[in-house]
Structure 1
Amino acid sequence: MPLTRRGFLAGALALPALSTVAACAGTVVQPGDLSRLRMMVPASPGGGWDTTARTLQRVIQQTGIARNVQVFNVEGAGGTIGIGQLAREDDDALLMMMGLVMVGAIDTNDSTTRLDDVTPIAQLIAETELIVVPADSPYDTLEDFVAGWAADPRGTPIAGGSAGGTDQILAGLLAQAAGIDPIEVNYIAYSGGGESLAALLGSQVAAGISGTADYGPQVQSGDLKGIAVSTAERSNQVPDVPTIIESGFDVEVTNWRGLMARPGMSDGARDDLIALVTDAHDTDEWAEALDANGWLDTFQTGDEYGEFLAEEETRVRQVLTEIGLIQG
């Protein structure tokens, strides 16, 4: 299948570090006690996984679904440090946030722990990717940018997140659609949206790719120019920015996020976690969070989610092979 197939659902390389939080003073959290839930974010605070986890934490606590939800961060290697830790856990009341970046990072980092080593619980949301250029860029449209990019791929640096993640996959897909060899793409991976944003604001790169939550405010303020969004329809976060498809390139990508749990748990324990997350998803508070963040509701659970993950692994591996990040 060509890299440009429409509807590809998309979803790294950071120095490993470990951050933990202690249980609340005087409280002993028993394994499997869903009234006191833990949620691991296998990335640094402030990013997309962290924002989604803390939004879910707030909804669960505000609606009384669980009395206490602890969110903690385990940073490193596109989430592969975190999934490795999850695979060694025995607590049925632990969830881990993840998404496409981890799917790609498992291959680019040669992780010994893979998605089928842990338990799928639910896919929560998907986010639109936004392609931007600096405010002083000569390019005002995606068509203009692609013309310049095709003339000098190596001299057109593109900023984005972790190697092998959503942003680089989108760059590779767009390159192929434009007739550019994906291996020639000069992609600069940053560990977070803040670093890539600084490079864009300083005109150190020709373009940037990230979620609408990262770049949307700067597009709205005029500090960056939005030239395309990656979904089939325009984003309500940046409604004046056309889609890639509108701009003449048959590429559609969404950056999804979901939840996993430890391996080897009983069907009953898994079903309890699915029920808890479903209850949170069905609240008005969660619907309001989706709207406020411009997230797409892509909710699915259990075996259906597991089948989706298996398909994503195959698709992502194909793309990463074709853009030269992993060996086929």
Structure 2
Amino acid sequence: MAGVAGLVASHTTLALAQDAPQLSIFVPAAPGGGWDQTARTMDQVMRKENLISGSQITNVGGAGGAVGLPQFVSQWAGKGNSLMVAGMVMVGALLTNKSPVTLDQVTPIARLTGEFEAIVVPAASPFKTVQEFAAALKADPTKVPVAGGSAGGSDHILFGLIAKTVGVPATSLSYVPFAGGGEALAALLGNQVAAGISGYGEFAEQVKAGTLRLLAVSSGERQEGIDAPTLKESGIDVELFNWRGVFAPPGISDDDKAAMIALVEKMAGSAAWAEECKNRNWSSILLTGDDYVKFVNEDRTRIEAILKDLGLA
């Protein structure tokens, strides 16, 4: 294992490792959230597939990744055995926080997963369909408060996209942000809000129990085992995945970038990864290299436009 020993000692390169390398994973969020779950699932699958000998996970939370990203850029530069987990939430957070550090300063490696969003209402709600929800929005958006995660996050962005598509000014929306899914769920179950938007997994148990009604999902196609139409199917031309991916630090070599992409592709192509995605309601949407760079740039443009509509950018 001399290659691994050399890798750990230099802490700078992946391409030179002769055996399964040691990986460092940076999570710009507190333990327990989606990015942290992604990092720990990657670690578990890569170990199982003997793609790495081990990993070290570092968490730096705050402001949707706007606190951690500058540390990753400045302190992890040139470390070719390192990855940062991030995604759509960071794109929005960097814009809303007007961060001087951006994703242009890191090295895109791969988009990994997408988690579609769900629009739900309390069981006693008069809204039986998402069309009825949209009609109420058009009639008076101030009377349709919607609970979700942080302002400017994926839940808020989806609400803004729905409003824009049906002709409601995004700045007139009544969006109620919550720091945690439990608080948003309590507001829904207590009928303090008209609807809620989040990843389907946040609501799945309550939907199955009948305490929440699922109106629609934001995926492009109907999801197996979920009895709800897509927004597009319902006449609202919106599709949204809360995507997650990985980035390497700035200043790594072309060889290390290629080696990291190959490593992630092997992981994403494994049966173990497919099983984890199924268990967690993640859609595997692998995209690497230049295609991923293009996707990140296009997504930033789209998100910036809707955040401006919401008055947040």
TM-score by length of 1: 0.86
**Structure 1 counterpart of 2:44:** 58
Instruction: Say if 1:32 and 1:269, in contact at 8 Å, map to a contact too.
Output: no
Instruction: Say if 1:156 and 1:205, in contact at 8 Å, map to a contact too.
Output: yes
C-alpha spacing 1:222/1:124, structure 2 compared with 1 (3 Å): same
Q: Distance in 2 between matches of 1:72 and 1:213?
A: 25
Q: Does 1:225 align with 2:213?
A: yes
Q: Distance in 1 between matches of 2:49 and 2:186?
A: 38
**Partner AA of 2:241 in structure 1:** T
Aligned residues: 298
- The partner residue of 1:38 within 6, 16, 24 is 24
**Partner AA of 1:84 in structure 2:** P
- The percent of aligned pairs where both chains have the same amino acid is 47
**Structure 1 counterpart of 2:169:** 181
CA shift, 1:102, in A, is 0.7
Where do residues 38-187 of structure 1 align in structure 2 (5 Å cutoff)? Answer: 38-88=24-74, 89-90=76-77, 91-187=79-175
Instruction: Say if 2:13 and 2:256, in contact at 8 Å, map to a contact too.
Output: no
**Partner AA of 1:85 in structure 2:** Q
CA shift, 1:246, in A, is 2.0
Instruction: Say if 1:134 and 1:201, in contact at 8 Å, map to a contact too.
Output: yes
**Partner AA of 2:45 in structure 1:** V
C-alpha spacing 1:71/1:224, structure 2 compared with 1 (3 Å): farther
**Partner AA of 1:216 in structure 2:** A
Q: Distance in 2 between matches of 1:215 and 1:86?
A: 33
CA shift, 1:59, in A, is 0.4
Q: Distance in 2 between matches of 1:232 and 1:203?
A: 29
Instruction: Say if 2:80 and 2:256, in contact at 8 Å, map to a contact too.
Output: yes
Q: Distance in 2 between matches of 1:115 and 1:203?
A: 39
Tell me the alpha carbon deviations over residues 14-36 of structure 1, each in whole angstroms, 9 at most, x when there is no partner.
xxxxxxxxxxxxxx664136522
Q: Distance in 2 between matches of 1:226 and 1:72?
A: 36
CA shift, 1:139, in A, is 1.7
Would you tell me which structure has more helix in proportion to its own residues? 2
**Structure 2 counterpart of 1:190:** 178
**Partner AA of 1:301 in structure 2:** T
Tell me the alpha carbon deviations over residues 97-119 of structure 1, each in whole angstroms, 9 at most, x when there is no partner.
11111111111001111011111
CA shift, 1:41, in A, is 1.8
SS in 1 for 2:150: coil
Tell me the alpha carbon deviations over residues 60-113 of structure 1, each in whole angstroms, 9 at most, x when there is no partner.
111111121222321111111111111011332221111111111111001111
SS in 1 for 2:67: helix
CA shift, 1:50, in A, is 2.0
SS in 2 for 1:297: strand
CA shift, 1:183, in A, is 0.8
Instruction: Say if 1:86 and 1:261, in contact at 8 Å, map to a contact too.
Output: no
Q: Distance in 2 between matches of 1:202 and 1:126?
A: 30
**Structure 1 counterpart of 2:18:** none
SS in 2 for 1:87: helix
SS in 2 for 1:154: helix
Q: Distance in 2 between matches of 1:283 and 1:29?
A: 29
Tell me the alpha carbon deviations over residues 201-254 of structure 1, each in whole angstroms, 9 at most, x when there is no partner.
222211111111222222122221111101121123x52111112222121112
Q: Does 1:296 align with 2:276?
A: no
Point out where structure 1 has 5 or more consecutive residues left out of the alignment: 1-27
**Partner AA of 1:121 in structure 2:** I
Q: Distance in 2 between matches of 1:32 and 1:105?
A: 29
C-alpha spacing 1:196/1:309, structure 2 compared with 1 (3 Å): same
- The partner residue of 2:239 within 249, 252, 263 is 252
Q: Does 1:314 align with 2:294?
A: no
The CA RMSD over aligned residues, in Å, is 1.7
SS in 2 for 1:65: coil
**Structure 2 counterpart of 1:283:** 270
Larger-gyration structure (1/2): 2
CA shift, 1:320, in A, is 1.3
Q: Distance in 1 between matches of 2:52 and 2:9?
A: 13
Point out where structure 2 has 5 or more consecutive residues left out of the alignment: 1-7, 15-20
